[in-house]
Every structure is written in C-alpha cells, then in structure tokens.
Amino acid sequence: MARILIVDDAKFMRLTLSSILVKANHEIVGEGENGQQAVELYNEHQPDIVTMDITMPVMSGLEAVKIIKQDNPEAKIIMCSAMGQQKMVVEAIEAGAKDFIIKPFDEMRVNDAINRILR
C-alpha cells in the first residue's frame, strides 16, 4: 500500500485514477489541478508516489517534476500523458520521473507502474 498524490487538471482523470488506486488498496493523500499545487501538496504530504499529468495550466507537470526532484531527490513520480506526447515523456524521465502511463488509463498498467516503483 502506498500514499499517493494525484495531479491532473481534468477532474475526470483524477477520479478515474483514484478509483483504480483505491481499489488496489492505496491511499490518496491529495489531489492537485496544476504543477504549482503538485509542488505545494508534495511538500505538505510527502507522498510515496505522485502521478503527474504533463500538460496543465499555471505550471506544467514537467516543471513541477524538476522542482520536486530538486528538493526531494528520492521523490517517486509517474508521468501521465496522452498519446503523441513521447517527446515530453522523454523529457520528464530525464528530469527524474520514474515511469509514465498513457491515457486513457489501463488499470493493469497503472498497477504495474505503481508496484514496480514500490519495489
């Protein structure tokens, strides 16, 4: 079981991810709508894992990953992206993200990514 922070500007995506994770016995410690909230919520909750959308208003997921990793090198972040954002996914991995999940979310793929990072 992990304590997870979900960050995505689409409420529907947060709900979808939340239901997959809760079903797998994980705890959702917070939800954010943009990268700035991701940084604030990470500092507040110190979650085991963050799922982070790439494209968001105010601050992108990419920028948020860089800021979180700068202060917390051990942070475990999984990027979530729509198809066709491979270049951004590569940038996110280079910035320190541990994995990525393609939207729409596949329950098995989400759980595999979480379990791999928890090992």
pLDDT value for 92: 86
| The pLDDT value given to residue 66 | 95
Nearest to 60 by CA among 102, 100, 17, 8: 8
Strand partners, 7: 32, 52
Q: What are phi and psi of 78, to 5 degrees?
A: -110, 125
Q: What is the pLDDT of residue 90?
A: 84
What domains does the chain contain, in order, with CATH numbers? 3-118 (3.40.50.2300)
Please report the pLDDT score of residue 83 as a whole number. 67
Rounded distance between C-alpha atoms, residue 33 and residue 24, angstroms: 23
Give residue for tokens 């601050």.
59
The two structure tokens encoding residue 118: 């928890």
Q: What is the pLDDT of residue 14?
A: 96
List, for residues 33-85, the tens digit of each pLDDT value: 999 999 999 999 999 999 999 999 999 999 999 999 999 999 999 999 886 66
Let me know: does 17 contact 6? Beta carbons within 8 Å: yes
Percent of the chain with pLDDT over 90: 82
